[in-house]
């Protein structure tokens, strides 16, 4: 029997129309483009129902509220479909993929985010292949994970990151192998794929104050003192190399002490594309150790931020949030 996929269009370049102000989302436009693509009627492609969000968003405006909406729609329609494809702008696609991976526990069907760098309305575009292959994988392959498909590779969603603003290979999964490669054939990397869950469980996020702070030489930490209030529930440091940070004449310790006093969870990731942040590997991470910060290991910043939303929304005590931040929950980190 022909498989059935639920296709959710949230916005982004893939479905944009040419307007006199440049590319912009347009209500109903994707439905008319898809209806003109005869290849989508082929038996090889699963049947699909299209849900078009209103308003359609540039993904820079997608955050907690939209993540919840997508997750709820998936849960509501979960039994009706073999898989889900989410059309999404590329800019924050890796955040949404990570967020959904934490919200949707015990997933047993593929949820694949995809989009494109050139809209489907152009003759030369990358959206066509991304869409067709994502539909085929979502309908016919056993990948019970939240994934991101782009440029012929299927990545674990919470391992992916956007690496190019204008190349067609726009994403990478720097610390984890692709789950599948779409060459002449679609080849699954079986050993890298998680086992199917039993009963889908949705954990919705609440909105929390979280900050990301990228370290650079000469950073004056005193600038950030005012953001370190008790409302700030978590802070992700993008530290140098393996998790190192300059002390800058004691100013670092002042802000770390303040964060600790306020109960803000401090997570340390690396600003390198590949590899891990491990507090204690170098003396230059001692301040983090003293402040009770936790290592983010090889998590992407996208995964670290969305995991903070997830754990903070569970209302766990700070110690439990810290412990779980350093524990692999959805394949987002290798320790």
Residue whose CB is less far from ligand ASP, 22 or 218: 22
**Whose CB is nearest to ligand ASP?**
89
Sheet hosting strand 153-156, strand order edge to edge = 47-57, 4-11, 83-87, 111-114, 146-150, 153-156, 180-182, 186-188
Q: Which is nearer to ligand ASP, 16 or 333 (CB)?
A: 16
- Cβ proximity of 124 and 32 under 8 Å: no
Residue 13 appears among annotated catalytic residues: yes
Cβ contacts of residue 261 below 8 Å, gap of 6+? none
Least distance in angstroms from the C-beta of 13 to ligand ASP: 3
Least distance in angstroms from the C-beta of 57 to ligand ASP: 7
Q: Cβ closer to ligand ASP: 167 or 261?
A: 167
Q: Are 46 and 91 in contact (CB under 8 A)?
A: no
Q: Provide, rounded to whole angstroms, the least separation between the CB of residue 197 and ligand ASP.
A: 29
The residue (of 162 and 322) whose beta carbon lies closer to ligand ASP is: 162
Residues, the chain, total? 335
Please pick, among 10, 13, 90, 270, the residue that the annotation labels catalytic. Answer: 13
Choose between 90 and 264: whose C-beta lies nearer to ligand ASP: 90
**153, β-bridge pairs:** 150, 181
Minimum CB separation from ligand ASP for residue 132, in Å? Answer: 18
Cβ-Cβ contacts under 8 Å for 13 (sequence gap 6 or more): 23, 89, 90, 115, 116, 117, 118, 119, 127
Q: How would you write 217-279 as a 3-class SS string?
A: CCCCHHHHHHHCCCCEEEEEEEEECCCECCCCCCHHHHHHHHHHHCCCEEEEEECCCCCCECC
Contact positions vs ligand ASP (CB under 6 A): 11-13, 58-60, 89-91, 115, 117
Look at residues 247, 231, 243, 248 and name the one whose alpha carbon lies nearest to residue 304.
243
Min dist. Cβ of residue 299 to ligand ASP (A): 22
Question: Which of the residues are catalytic?
Answer: 13
């Amino acid at each position: 029997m022909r498989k059935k996929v639920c296709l959710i269009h949230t916005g982004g370049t893939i479905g944009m129309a040419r307007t006199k102000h440049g590319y912009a989302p347009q209500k109903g436009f994707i439905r008319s483009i898809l209806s003109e693509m005869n290849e989508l009627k082929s038996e090889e492609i699963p049947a699909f129902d299209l849900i078009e969000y209103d308003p359609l968003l540039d993904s820079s405006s997608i955050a907690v509220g939209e993540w919840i909406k997508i997750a709820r729609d998936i849960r509501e329609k979960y039994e009706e479909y073999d898989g889900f494809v989410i059309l999404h702008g590329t800019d924050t696609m890796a955040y949404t993929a990570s967020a959904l991976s934490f919200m949707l526990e015990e997933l047993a069907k593929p949820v694949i985010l995809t989009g494109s760098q050139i809209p489907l309305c152009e003759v030369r575009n990358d959206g066509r292949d991304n869409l067709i292959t994502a539909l085929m994988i979502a309908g016919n392959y056993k990948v019970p994970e939240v994934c991101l498909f782009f440029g012929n590779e299927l990545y674990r969603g919470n391992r992916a990151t956007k690496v190019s603003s204008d190349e067609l290979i726009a994403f990478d999964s720097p610390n984890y192998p692709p789950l599948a490669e779409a060459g002449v054939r679609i080849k699954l990397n079986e050993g890298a794929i998680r086992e199917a869950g039993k009963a889908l469980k949705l954990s919705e996020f609440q909105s929390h104050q979280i900050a990301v702070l990228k370290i650079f030489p000469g950073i004056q930490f005193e600038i950030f003192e005012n953001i370190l209030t008790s409302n700030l529930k978590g802070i992700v440091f993008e530290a140098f190399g393996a998790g190192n940070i300059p002390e800058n004449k004691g100013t670092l310790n002042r802000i770390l002490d303040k964060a600790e006093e306020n109960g803000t969870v401090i997570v340390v990731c690396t600003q390198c594309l590949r590899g891990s942040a491990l507090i204690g590997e170098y003396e230059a991470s001692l301040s983090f150790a003293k402040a009770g910060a936790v290592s983010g290991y090889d998590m992407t910043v996208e995964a670290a931020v969305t995991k903070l939303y997830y754990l903070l929304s569970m209302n766990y005590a700070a110690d439990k949030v810290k412990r779980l931040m350093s524990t692999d929950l959805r394949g987002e980190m290798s320790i």
